[in-house]
Chains A and B, each alone.
Chain A
């Protein structure tokens, strides 16, 4: 049977072959490489180097070998911060990804293109609010005496459930995890929605003709086809989560109470800025960098081990 394939369209280059020397494109990369080197690579290598010193940020440093790392792994606050950040990152990544999928599927399945556009805008607008403002608003939402959450609970006669959400070690970390609830308005929502809209419509139509329900199609077709975008969203979310600093800093006064919301990023900041222990802070940064790198490699490896179906 003759296959009915479509031949790829040849794109005609606007630049004549041989008219531009081969090195020219590399010249355009030089500014980016210089900036990357100055603001990314040098600080990163400097941090690794200083993690083996007792640098205080201003004076000359002394080489002390692995002492900072020895201290780090016997520092209960640092270990607590690692535990917190793993819980925070995994839970928040799962929640935000799940909610982004739900949000994207709901919008994608709207029949009216106008309504689809409206909802896409509705879910996107909150993304333009500065995150600092978001954290300040949520700090007030969780406030014990004048907080929206407790006021709402009291309104429904649920006074017994009211509490100091950020002041209680049992609830503080979870309160941070749920900041931004229902967690739909995220970058992940946009990525997944874009991925869904790029899926070949013929596959969807065929599935529906074969009697596949919309709900079943999500698991049978959409999610397997979205492994690329999902891996992308997961990597971004995990990277951001592991390095999280702002909500702990803004909402819980520096990782409290009793380090219940302490994160390695915040602990690094405190050691460097508050105590002038730049060497110790550099060791925390190096560990954090390695952990983030390991997670990213793991996810990328898992993603590339499987077939790549759809690219965003």
Chain B
């Protein structure tokens, strides 16, 4: 799995969960950039990502990502 692929897959997942078809994620994207991405929807995203990749994040991890790039790294690390 490459970073680009995960980024693409996450874009689809974000669009779906946040119900906003305009979302296109970059590594630098943060919650600030997406209106629908707030503390409530954050955990919805976490849960859906976990199911998609069959992984589990720790409580600290779910609080720790500064941008989408770090989230992608976190996924890749768990899948490796």
Same assembly: no
Query: B residues within 8 Å of A by Cβ?
Result: none
Query: A residues within 8 Å of B by Cβ?
Result: none
